Structure 1
Amino acid sequence: MTVSNETRVTEFILLGLSSNPDLQLLFFVLFLVMYLGTIAGNLLIMITIYVDSQLHTPMYFFLCNLSFIDLSFSTVTVPRCLVLFLWQDKTISFSDCMAQMFFIHFVGGSECFHLVLMAYDRYVAICNPLRYTTIMNRRVCLLLMVSTWAGGFIHAFSQSLPIIQLPFCGPNEIDHFLCDSHTLSLLACSSIFITEALDMANSGLLALSCFLVLVISYGYIISTILKIHSTEGRQKAFSTCATHLLVVTFFYGPIVFVYMRPSVTFAVDKPLAVFYSTVTPWLNPFIYTLRNEKARKAMKKLGGRTMSLLRTHAN
């Protein structure tokens, strides 16, 4: 803390998930396992898609970008959590806290837009199969991907700027394991009515709007699938859509609950934050690979090539 005309907060204290040493050790192991799994799983997906030319299609191009987003999301949050679980010093500087908040919303907002983009890709593939390659050409796919990152950046900037401008003069304890606009605004020593309204309009309505667009898109997709005469074709289309809907439910559900209300903390907020920031990026590789036969075959082929290469070098 520094003192001028008024006391200003220069660092915050993240209280984390628990103050119990045994639980902290357990959380450290669980988070470390999930983080390593997130890194390995998402890197495997990206490398497989890059190496296998049969996966150079819009669907897998977007899946590769989703893996990169998930890897980034987990990296923004988990390493700091691991430090909290092991060290007694729970402090984080003001600038680091604001930076983490910005990147959480940057990557999280990008994922919100990207899941909508993936739904659009499936809509075109299933509802307009004859025009799919024309509509989803390489240039369009690249522009759409860049637009998701640009949208995430705009969202993060507009979400973070009002928080950064708030006066923080104590207390400085954040009852969370990460710095987020929702919890930080509660520590401000001025009225946060406008900030809360912007928070709900920005994050809450963004997540809800994206979710509603996804529901409408999948309404059209399912109605088209039901018209497919081939049983095998229906099963394949349903399998792809079920995978995406599973990811959407895991991601949007907690976010809508947390951000579509004023800045009031509930006990369930931290577990929900763990779910969308840590568990979902860890689960996504399993969801996509376990339900995608083409991706599984490509990974087995990559594994066979790797083992063959290692044997050659060993001999």
Structure 2
Amino acid sequence: MEPPKNGTFTGFVLLGFSETPHLVYPLFCFFFTAYVLSIGGNTIISMLIISQPQLHTPMFILMGNLAFVDVCFTSIIIPRALYSLLSGDTHISIHGCFAQLFLFLAVGNMDSFLLAIMAFDRYSAICFPLHYLNIMNKRTCLCLVIISWVIVFLHSTLYTVLTSSQSHCSRVIHHFFCDLPVIMLLACSGTSDTVQRVVFTEGPIVVFGPVLFILGSYILIIRAVLTLKSSQRRWKAFSTCASHLTMVVLFYSTILLLYFRPNPIYTFDRAISMVYSIATPMLNPFIYSLRNKEIKSAVKRVVK
């Protein structure tokens, strides 16, 4: 679908899944169900952490922030996709597209930073259990979260300004939301050199910084756990990291597969995007609640 020729439309066209019209209603049902589960599950987690004093610890404060970020993450993408699937209107304004890009970059990178902070929390709890409350107190937790928000907003502002200042030779986006790589592909030749330099210099610092931090934390955690003489203590230590490690693997495996490979295939890209932008926020509350005794106890107290 191309933009109108009469000059009244100056935005972009999100092709989404228009090549497969027979999948419109199944996709709408999937998106809607995933959105309801994501919003419901993450909201319940947030309300439990706010209402239960027993959960006012750094680990659960970070979990509550992650639940809030996941609600924002899905709300940036899914409602617009649902509207396009139901109405058939694939047009999006320029301001709407770059606003979506800005919020998506900010919230998506904040998800990554929160996973890194949670890795540091697990490292402190396992490697320095006697000093854990001094290392990872509420003030430290709050400072790390605020610094992360400042970094991701500056990062997303930089990328949004650079991409919005480019000349776009095409207005057709082969995706169901405004993502950075697909918008960069629309740039006219010779106008994206600055953006590419930024992507290969500043980008890896913000994207791979949390990844390297998580890897380093888990190397130290594994080394500390292996020195424990009791197999029961080793199993307990590893089980406290299982939920976080599951989320890290699920989140970063799709990110690396999507953004760091040559010759992207649009259909495959959209399928992978659905995993980290829809499935992962939907699964996060279940991953944590099913493996966390404190969350289960809080649910029982609220029900009683």
TM over 0.5: yes
1:207-238: CA deviation from partner (whole Å, max 9, x where unpaired): 33322221121011011112223433322221
RMSD: 2.1
Change (3 A) 1:155 1:37: same
Q: Which residue of 2 is the match for residue 141 of structure 1?
A: 141
2:27 and 2:226 map into 1 onto residues whose CA distance is 45
Asked if 1:165 is matched to 2:165, the reply is: yes
- When residues 92 and 266 of structure 1 are mapped into structure 2, their CA distance, relative to the original with a 3 A threshold, is closer
**More displaced, 116-125 or 10-19?**
10-19
Would the alpha carbon gap of residues 69 and 291 (structure 1) be closer, same or farther in structure 2, given more than 3 Å must change?
Answer: same
Look up the match of 1:32. 32
Cα pair distance change 1:282/1:203, threshold 3 Å = farther
Residues 1:88 and 2:84 aligned together: no
Shift, 1:171, TM fit = 2.4
Query: Aligned pair in 2 of structure 1 residues 296, 18: CA closer, same or farther (>3 Å)?
Result: farther
Match of 2:194 in 1: 194
Instruction: Pick closer, same or farther for the CA change 1:164–1:274 going to 2, 3 Å.
Output: same
Whichever residue aligns with residue 241 of structure 2, its letter is: C
Aligned equivalent of 1:228: 228
Measure how far apart 1:264 and its partner are: 4.7
Note closer, same or farther for the CA distance 1:45–1:176 as it changes in structure 2 (3 Å cut). Answer: same
The one-letter amino acid paired with 2:285 is P
Q: Decide which moves more: 78-87 or 98-107.
A: 78-87
Residue 260 of structure 2: aligned partner? 260
Q: TM-score, normalised by structure 1?
A: 0.89
1:155 aligns with 155
Relative to structure 1, the CA distance from residue 95 to residue 263 in structure 2 (aligned partners, 3 Å threshold; closer, same or farther) is farther
- Quote the residue 1:125 is aligned against: 125
Q: Deviations over 1:129-186 (max 9, x none)?
A: 1111111122111111111211211111122111011012x42110000001210111
Report Cα offsets for 1:246-265 as digits up to 9, x if no partner: 11111112222333357854
The answer to whether 1:183 aligns with 2:176 is: no
Which whole-Å CA distance do the structure 2 matches of 1:32 and 1:201 have between them? 38
The equivalent residue for 1:308 is none
SS at match of 2:175: coil
Q: What amino acid is the match of 1:72? A: C
The answer (yes or no) to whether the contact 1:2–1:8 under 8 Å persists in 2 is yes
Kindly state the Cα deviation for residue 203 of structure 1 after the two structures are TM-superposed.
4.1
1:60 is aligned to 60
Matching of residues 68-87 of structure 1 within 5 Å: 68-87=68-87
1:13-57 CA-to-partner distances (Å, cap 9, x unmatched) read: 101134333311101101111100011100111111111111111
Q: 1:260 to 1:158 in 2, by over 3 A?
A: farther
Contact between 1:207 and 1:255, CA under 8 Å: does it hold in 2? no
Change (3 A) 1:285 1:235: same
Q: Does the 8 A contact of 1:186 with 1:263 survive in 2?
A: no
After TM superposition, the score normalised by the length of structure 2 is 0.92
Instruction: Quickly say closer, same or farther: Cα 1:55–1:72, change in 2 above 3 A.
Output: same
* Paired-residue identity, %: 38
Most deviating of 222-231 and 235-244: 222-231
Report how many residues are paired.
300
Task: Give SS of 2:267's match.
Answer: coil
